[in-house]
Structure 1
């Protein structure tokens, strides 16, 4: 296995952990900073918005910067931002540090994805990218639960110190083993946005946005949601997150299998419908028993990642001439969905109860289903020779 690819994947793992770890330690943050749960949830919202908006903009602004230098600089800013979070007691300063973390993290993720294929032969490019995405998804399986365990043992600031330490190790590894790499030709931001004039593509992108908005309406506040249903220990809650992560990663493979065997368009409809149904079922599953609820949670988790293979294939098939642009924009769209979901979930908690987050999330997923149906019924711009 290529050590340089592993280093890039490790950096992606750290960034993925930082984005969602707040959801697992909300109770610790709110108690220490004396803020509401919804206010703490905005640490996820601002991160996701900053990530989504800064990814295409910063990559264009830094288009002429040598890639290794840019990577090391971004890791340095990322490290500093997490140290700021660990030692700050100011809500405003922590929000600012989360924005810095997201902006630098966006560059790290994009660079990891673009650099990995350059480091291997053409026959191994797919595997290289697969390792990077394993780093991202692996943060759900290991990063968040481990962060919760450390947070519950040593305080909520400890995971951010650990992340800062891991960032320092990544800086050392990248500095030693990664060779200098010239920047590739950047796609102008105007060209990226121009591709969204097509209603089929816009509604296709909205599927991801609305799905993740519905998903994060509950998942961003999943810890308080579970604790409102069952009197479980922090250790048991960490186990729930761990199982959630395993199901999420396996869901990516499930989604690919469904897409290959049923076709992209049918897979989109089936997955979105099933996802909505499971979100509505969760409260009823909790009334039966904790274990039935846990099974429902794992199905919910698997479906949340099952959409990605079909979604990305659909975008490439619908707009083959701008496939790379669509995938880049879809990354930003998904993070905007994360931000919207965490914001809406906070509003639901403020206005009613965390018990209603599942219902609101399910309704948003039904809207995603409407967007999928609309997109699928629009005339395709792809060549007739493209197979689904």
Structure 2
């Protein structure tokens, strides 16, 4: 397999850090600009909103341009967005920086995924995508804690300086080591719209939405879940999150490798089914010996990140002609699922108890499983459907 895929994974690691880091330094930013935590939190909301919308649009705009050139320019804009954020003189200047980071960051992730799949032989496509997702999940383990450490020790602005420096190093590496990559054949907008309307692709997208909604129903409130059910202190919660992150990294790589070894359809169904079982089991696990609960959590974490690369591989195998745009829209809809899961999880916590979040989340995952079963039983590919119209 082409080792240069790891460069794309490192880029995804840096982008993942920028996406997730703000939650850890939100209080520092609120104090710096004399705004409430709620207003500082809008910087996270606007990032997710722009992130969800940008990649499909940017893919269309740059469809005719050589991919390495597009990748370099997108990295450059991402670098500028972090310099802009680091030296912002006010709240709204930082907001503009976050908007630029979200637009370029989402595009970098999609480009990394699609370029990785095209840089390797077909039998390694799932593994290559999994390595990119390992980069994203790796930001949970190392990027976020490192950012929080730098933010508290040197100031929040230094976090963005660090990201800008890392981005510059990636740009230099890409420039000198990666070959030019021709753009995929131009797919007319009408054909892209038909691809999105295809029943198989709609089902895959809905599966992504429901699985992530189910995951976030519990994961967004995992800290109170651990504190209320197990009585863990802050130190233990931090350790648990570290273990979760390591399992997530392993899961991202495992999901891609398994979807290569099996076929993508079987791997997606198996992973979502096992994820459904793990979601149901989590609330029961708190009554078992702590080691057993930890093992269960590791399985849940690994599966939560294993599904996405397998889904991307399924899209590539089902619709090679339009896979770039479909992967980008699938990434966009994942953020809708994250928003839904976080919202529903909050209702459960406020109205009932956090112990029920896992079970409520499992209902979403079950819906995702049904959607995936429908998708894989559709024998025609998107391309077949499009050519028949």
TM class by smaller structure: 0.7 to 0.9
Contact 1:45 1:339 in 2 (8 A): no
Cα gap change, 1:34 to 1:361, in 2 (>3 Å): farther
| Alignment partners' CA distance in 2, 1:204 and 1:60 | 21
**SS of equivalent residue, structure 1 residue 330:** helix
Q: For each residue in 1:11-58, what CA deviation from the matched residue of structure 2 results, as whole angstroms up to 9, or x when unmatched?
A: 22201222233455667767875325xx76665543333223211211
Aligned ranges 1:272-291 → 2 under 5 Å: 272-286=272-286, 288=288, 291=291
- 2:62 aligned residue: 62
Could you say what the CA RMSD is over the residues aligned between the two structures, in angstroms?
Answer: 4.2
Contact 1:87 1:157 in 2 (8 A): yes
- 2:109 aligned residue: 109
- 1:386 aligned residue: none
Is 1:381 matched with 2:380? Answer: yes
Cα gap change, 1:34 to 1:155, in 2 (>3 Å): farther
Contact 1:279 1:361 in 2 (8 A): yes
Contact 1:144 1:241 in 2 (8 A): no
Q: Which moved more, 1:343-352 or 1:56-65?
A: 343-352
- 2:36 aligned residue: 34
- 2:234 aligned residue: 233
| Alignment partners' CA distance in 2, 1:339 and 1:315 | 23
Cα gap change, 1:146 to 1:359, in 2 (>3 Å): farther
Contact 1:60 1:186 in 2 (8 A): no
How far has the Cα of 1:96 moved from its partner?
A: 4.0
Cα gap change, 1:286 to 1:147, in 2 (>3 Å): farther
- 2:74 aligned residue: 74
How far has the Cα of 1:279 moved from its partner?
A: 2.6
| Alignment partners' CA distance in 2, 1:326 and 1:86 | 34
**SS of equivalent residue, structure 2 residue 59:** helix
Contact 2:130 2:253 in 1 (8 A): no
How far has the Cα of 1:273 moved from its partner?
A: 3.5
Unaligned runs of 5+ residues in structure 2 are 383-389
- 1:163 aligned residue: 163
Q: For each residue in 1:303-328, what CA deviation from the matched residue of structure 2 results, as whole angstroms up to 9, or x when unmatched?
A: 11232354345445555665555444
How many residues align? The count is 379
Contact 1:41 1:343 in 2 (8 A): no
Aligned ranges 1:339-358 → 2 under 5 Å: 339-345=339-345, 357-358=357-358
Is 1:338 matched with 2:326? Answer: no
Task: Give TM-score scaled by structure 1 length.
Answer: 0.76
- 2:199 aligned residue: 199
| Alignment partners' CA distance in 1, 2:218 and 2:374 | 26
- 2:386 aligned residue: none
Task: Give TM-score scaled by structure 2 length.
Answer: 0.75
Contact 2:125 2:313 in 1 (8 A): no
**SS of equivalent residue, structure 1 residue 380:** coil
| Alignment partners' CA distance in 2, 1:125 and 1:313 | 7
Q: For each residue in 1:259-288, what CA deviation from the matched residue of structure 2 results, as whole angstroms up to 9, or x when unmatched?
A: 578765554444333323333433443355
Unaligned runs of 5+ residues in structure 1 are 384-388
| Alignment partners' CA distance in 2, 1:67 and 1:242 | 35
Cα gap change, 1:326 to 1:155, in 2 (>3 Å): same
| Alignment partners' CA distance in 1, 2:344 and 2:328 | 25
